[in-house]
């Protein structure tokens, strides 16, 4: 984490994020890969799905991802690629790459 409280693309930051996600399956944090732009992201794997979700598939076992002020929330698997994330969340490709990287790094640490 940098001195502003923002997580970065580092091993120690991903270790900390994964440990916190493992504990609660619901974390909210600021993230930046370039230390200029920033996204506030919420990863929630502890939601309760009720009924059938039309046009949204079945998110059981997936992670609900939302970014403050960017795109729309959607559910993804650890390791989903950036183009899929960009399409489903309606976010720019740079943000989708960051989200994809976050999901991959955290997912790898949960195994």
The answer to whether residue 3 sits within a structural domain is no
Domain assignment of residue 41, yes or no: yes
In a domain, 2, yes or no: no
pLDDT the model gives residue 56: 65
Number of structural domains (the chain) is 1
Rounded mean pLDDT of the chain? 91
CB burial of 8-34 (b: ≥16 within 10 Å; e: otherwise) equals eeeeebbebbbebbeeeeebebebbbe
DSSP bridge pairs for 63: 76
Q: Does residue 5 fall inside a structural domain?
A: no
pLDDT of 37 > 70? The answer is yes
pLDDT digits (tens, 9 = 90+) for 45-58: 998 888 877 776 67
Residue 93 DSSP SS3? helix
Range of the domain at 96: 11-109
Provide the whole-model pTM. Answer: 0.89
Q: Is residue 50 assigned to a domain?
A: yes
């Amino acid at each position: 984490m940098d001195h502003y409280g923002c997580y970065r693309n580092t091993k120690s930051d991903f270790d900390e994020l994964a440990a916190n996600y493992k504990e609660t399956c619901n974390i909210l944090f600021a993230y930046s890969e370039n230390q200029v732009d920033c996204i506030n992201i919420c990863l929630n794997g502890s939601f309760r799905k009720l009924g059938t979700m039309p046009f949204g598939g079945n998110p059981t076992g997936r992670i609900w991802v939302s970014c403050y002020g960017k795109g729309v929330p959607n559910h993804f698997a650890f390791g989903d690629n950036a183009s899929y994330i960009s399409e489903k969340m309606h976010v720019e490709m740079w943000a989708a790459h960051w989200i994809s990287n976050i999901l991959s790094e955290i997912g790898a640490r949960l195994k």
